[in-house]
Homo-oligomer: A and B are copies of this chain.
Amino acid sequence: MTTSKPANPAKPDSKAKRSAGRVNLNDIAQRVGVSPITVSRALRTPDLVSPATRAKIQMAVEELGYVPDLVAASLASRRSKVVAIILPTITQALFADTIQGLMDMLRLEGYQLIVGDNGYSSEIEASLISTLLGRRPDGLVLVGGEHLPPTRRLLANAGVPVVEIWELPEKPIDSVVGFSNFNAMYAMTHYLLKTGRRRVAFISTRRNPRALARQEGYIACLREHGQGQLPLIAMPATVRDLTDPEMEFIKLVHAHPDIDAVCCADDIIAFNVVFACQRQRWPVPDRFAISGFCDLDMARKLYPALTTVRIPGYDMGREAGRLVLGRLHGAISEPVTLDLGFEIIQRETA
């Protein structure tokens, strides 16, 4: 120390802070008397720094309330430690478990989740993905496997691991963690037929690839085991349309009084149909057998408890996370497709 008079560079001012006034790596380094890079190491790879230095740095960090700038770190390291997920809508209870599973997995390695919703629209998805990719996420999780060509091109160029979930797309972009919506609804329809139902209807209130696949499963099963039953379907005409499950159900019943079972495209619809029955004094399952899809918490609480298809919502999230992380670590180098299956849960409504 040559005590070179007053500060030669910028005026140390009151707190030796420049720019935004936020404490940064340099502030810590100066305070401790080491180089910034050593501070960086002390925080990221403590093993490479001597215990004494590490302790001093730790202390300075506490004192100054230093919060590392992950934005700068991302830029420098080209690793953002962020994974993005795009959902049809965030308001849906259906995807909550999936998000939770994904978060739980990512948290283990300090990754953060950034969420976007495309409102069930492939067009919105395209622009959303473009913006999200701008954040340079280390991975991308997409609900669904239907994407516009520009989207596919964008993703191909991005060089980011992609996992599509909740379906088993014909032409996966990369990895997949899903189940067969077709098979699941086929199985449920089959179950209803086995229990002796003679006229099974199908209700969806939203038109999307998964609902359509379920509808196809329903139709296929009727064809093969329906003893001449004709498909009886309530499905909105376009992606934008949203119908009221209760009304659709009532209309269906009035038009076809011989209906004795309803396959609902998801649990929420099934709840509505059960409530409608109660309102109309139509005993369930005596007059109508009702089946759901997803096995939400409330399905088993409902009275009568809902017979439904359990799908691996949480696990899809978790496994998608695992795949992304595996890709990033180099542990996985090839696209993987995981079929997590489903399970018919027999309760009281069918």
Q: Is A67 an interface residue (CB 8 A)?
A: yes
Contact status of A67 and B112, CB under 8 A, knowing A301-B272, A301-B275: no
Q: Is A65 an interface residue (CB 8 A)?
A: yes
Cα(A67)–Cα(B20), bound, Å = 27
Q: How many subunits of this chain does the assembly comprise? A: 2
The 6 closest A-B pairs by CB, nearest first: A70-B134, A278-B303, A275-B303, A91-B96, A71-B74, A114-B114
Complex interface bits, A277-295 against B, C-beta within 8 A gives 1, otherwise 0 = 0110000000000000000
Contact partner of A103 (CB less than 8 A), chosen from B100, B117, B272, is: B117
Q: Give me 9 A-to-B residue pairs in the complex whose CB atoms sit less than 8 angstroms apart, sorted by A's number.
A: A65-B157, A70-B136, A71-B75, A91-B99, A112-B114, A114-B114, A246-B301, A271-B298, A275-B303
Contact status of A112 and B90, CB under 8 A, knowing A78-B20, A159-B21, A303-B278: no
Q: Is A196 an interface residue (CB 8 A)?
A: no
Contacts of A298 in B (CB 8 A): 268, 271-272
Contact status of A71 and B67, CB under 8 A, knowing A90-B103, A112-B114, A301-B272: no
Q: Is A333 an interface residue (CB 8 A)?
A: no
Q: Taking CB as reference atom, which chain B residue is nearest A72? A: B75
Q: Is A336 an interface residue (CB 8 A)?
A: no
Extra pairs beyond A69-B136, A112-B114, A114-B115 (9, CB < 8 Å): A65-B154, A70-B136, A71-B71, A90-B103, A112-B135, A246-B301, A272-B298, A272-B301, A275-B302
Cα(A71)–Cα(B103), bound, Å = 22
Q: Is A30 an interface residue (CB 8 A)?
A: no
A301 and B271 form a contact (CB under 8 A): yes
Complex interface bits, A80-115 against B, C-beta within 8 A gives 1, otherwise 0 = 101000000111110011011001000000101111
**How many residues on A have C-beta within 8 angstroms of the other chain's C-beta atoms?**
57
Q: Is A133 an interface residue (CB 8 A)?
A: yes
Contacts of A326 in B (CB 8 A): none
Residues of A within 8 A of B (CB): 19-22, 65, 67-72, 74-75, 78, 80, 82, 89-93, 96-97, 99-100, 103, 110, 112-117, 130-136, 153-154, 157-159, 246, 268, 271-272, 275-276, 278-279, 298, 301-303
B93 and A100 form a contact (CB under 8 A): no
B113 and A115 form a contact (CB under 8 A): yes
Scoring A82, A91, A110 by chain B CB atoms within 10 A of each residue's CB, the highest score goes to: A91
Scoring A68, A69, A135 by chain B CB atoms within 10 A of each residue's CB, the highest score goes to: A135
Contacts of A130 in B (CB 8 A): 67
Contacts of A112 in B (CB 8 A): 114, 116, 131-132, 135
B110 and A131 form a contact (CB under 8 A): yes
How close is A318's CB to chain B, nearest CB, in angstroms?
14
How close is A162's CB to chain B, nearest CB, in angstroms?
15
Cα(A97)–Cα(B19), bound, Å = 38
Cα(A133)–Cα(B135), bound, Å = 16
How close is A69's CB to chain B, nearest CB, in angstroms?
6
Contacts of A78 in B (CB 8 A): 19-20
Scoring A68, A99, A275 by chain B CB atoms within 10 A of each residue's CB, the highest score goes to: A275
